[in-house]
Homo-oligomer: A and B are copies of this chain.
Amino acid sequence: MDNWQEYDNAPEDLVLSSRIRLARNINGIPFPNKLDVASGKEVVNNIEKAFYTSDEMRENYKSIYLWNNDSLQNSKYFEQHLISPDLINHKDAAAFILNKDETISIMLNEEDHIRLQAITGGLNLPECYKMANKLDDKLDENLDFAFDEKLGYITACPTNLGTGMRASAMVHLPALTMNNQMNEILKVLTQVGMTIRGLYGEGTKAQGNLYQISNQITLGYTEEDIITNLEVVVRQVINQEQATRESLIKAYKYDIEDKIYRSIGILKNAVLLNSTECLDLLSNVRMGVELGIIKDVKKGTLNSLIIDTQPSTLQSKLNTKLNEKERDINRARIVKEAFNKV
């Protein structure tokens, strides 16, 4: 498992990260929405007991209790893709267990008691599944999961019944976006039980041309089927993106190179950068790297900047509240520093 932010093994790869998420609930205990704070914290405590069973586990993992954090810290974890808005909604009794390289995040008392996530760089869902499965087995040893012979794992929302598994991949699709093909792709994906969303999931706009493709249906398929199908679909979408890029480059070679190089020029020099423009410029540079036009910028730098320039992460790192203008100034500074290190 690789931390996706640091992952830059394959510059031409359009997949930033793969993620497997398993939803689990404990038998006989109401779903988090129905729990008061004390009972919620007891659930957290019981899961921790089932999880931290050895020194090795205690060394490699730590619990973060949302009720101990201010909202800036929690929203930073959200921006880092480690927790969901729903976990923050349950913050009075919610927590998550995180490993050192941040490839595992187990949310406690989100919509379900347990939302186990395994995240890696590039397109590698089997690897994520192997890891998630291992940890799931471990929890299963000491916890009594709600499970029905017919329905599979019981979850708060029926869309997660069955495997309780969601597989997703974050992909970079600037050419399809530029060419207004994303709605068409969403339609096709919906027909095969999948969906495509923006950088921050459900209901968020695609910023920086980054999209998450994931399965919608969890019931009636095995985990292996879901993973195989998703990888096939992701590869198809990527092929479409590549074909669109090729035809755009054929028609507008200089314009595309101009866009890519100007973006680097602005990122290296701007004094003010708002979040939307920043993600757009990073996307242009990423495309330059993927196309082999830009050779001296690492994917890892671009990945980290996507996260580090988010409003809460930015403020959290500087340990201070900032107004919009101050955020724009500091975002520009952080980006400039990262690019000048290159």
Q: Does A140 contact B (CB under 8 A)?
A: no
Contacts of A262 in B (CB 8 A): 265-266, 269-271
Closest chain B residue to A269, Cβ basis: B265
Q: Does A261 contact B (CB under 8 A)?
A: yes
Q: Chain B's nearest CB lies how many Å from the CB of A289? A: 15
The A245-266 residues at the B interface (CB cut-off 8 A) are: 254-255, 257-258, 261-262, 264-266
Q: Does A325 contact B (CB under 8 A)?
A: yes
Contacts of A269 in B (CB 8 A): 261-262, 264-265
Q: Does A135 contact B (CB under 8 A)?
A: no
Closest chain B residue to A271, Cβ basis: B258
Alpha-carbon distance A268/B332, docked complex (angstroms): 18
Tell which of B257, B271, B329 touches A261, judged by Cβ atoms closer than 8 Å. B271
The A305-342 residues at the B interface (CB cut-off 8 A) are: 325, 328-329, 332
Alpha-carbon distance A259/B325, docked complex (angstroms): 15
Tell which of B265, B267, B270, B325 touches A268, judged by Cβ atoms closer than 8 Å. B265
Q: Does A98 contact B (CB under 8 A)?
A: no
Contacts of A264 in B (CB 8 A): 265, 269
Contacts of A328 in B (CB 8 A): 254
Most chain B C-beta atoms within 10 Å of own C-beta, residue among A267, A268, A328, A329: A268
Question: In terms of DSSP, what is the predominant structure of the interface of chain A?
Answer: helix
Q: Does A297 contact B (CB under 8 A)?
A: no
Closest chain B residue to A336, Cβ basis: B261
Q: Does A47 contact B (CB under 8 A)?
A: no
Task: Mark A277-309 against chain B: 1 for CB-CB distance below 8 A, else 0.
Answer: 000000000000000000000000000000000
Q: Does A156 contact B (CB under 8 A)?
A: no
Q: Does A72 contact B (CB under 8 A)?
A: no
Most chain B C-beta atoms within 10 Å of own C-beta, residue among A261, A270, A329, A332: A261
* A254 with B270: CB separation less than 8 A: no
Most chain B C-beta atoms within 10 Å of own C-beta, residue among A262, A264, A329: A262
* A254 with B272: CB separation less than 8 A: yes
Tell which of B255, B258, B266, B271 touches A257, judged by Cβ atoms closer than 8 Å. B271
Alpha-carbon distance A13/B258, docked complex (angstroms): 33
Most chain B C-beta atoms within 10 Å of own C-beta, residue among A255, A257, A258, A264: A258
Contacts of A332 in B (CB 8 A): 258
Q: Chain B's nearest CB lies how many Å from the CB of A290? A: 17
Q: What are 18 A-B contacts with C-beta separation under 8 Å?
A: A254-B271, A254-B328, A254-B329, A255-B272, A258-B270, A258-B272, A258-B332, A261-B269, A261-B271, A262-B265, A262-B270, A262-B271, A264-B269, A265-B265, A265-B266, A265-B269, A265-B270, A266-B266
Question: Which residues of A come within 8 Å of B, CB atoms?
Answer: 254-255, 257-258, 261-262, 264-272, 325, 328-329, 332
13 extra interface residue pairs, beta carbon distance < 8 Å, beyond A254-B271, A258-B272, A262-B265: A254-B272, A254-B328, A255-B272, A257-B271, A258-B271, A261-B270, A262-B266, A262-B270, A262-B271, A264-B265, A265-B267, A265-B268, A265-B270
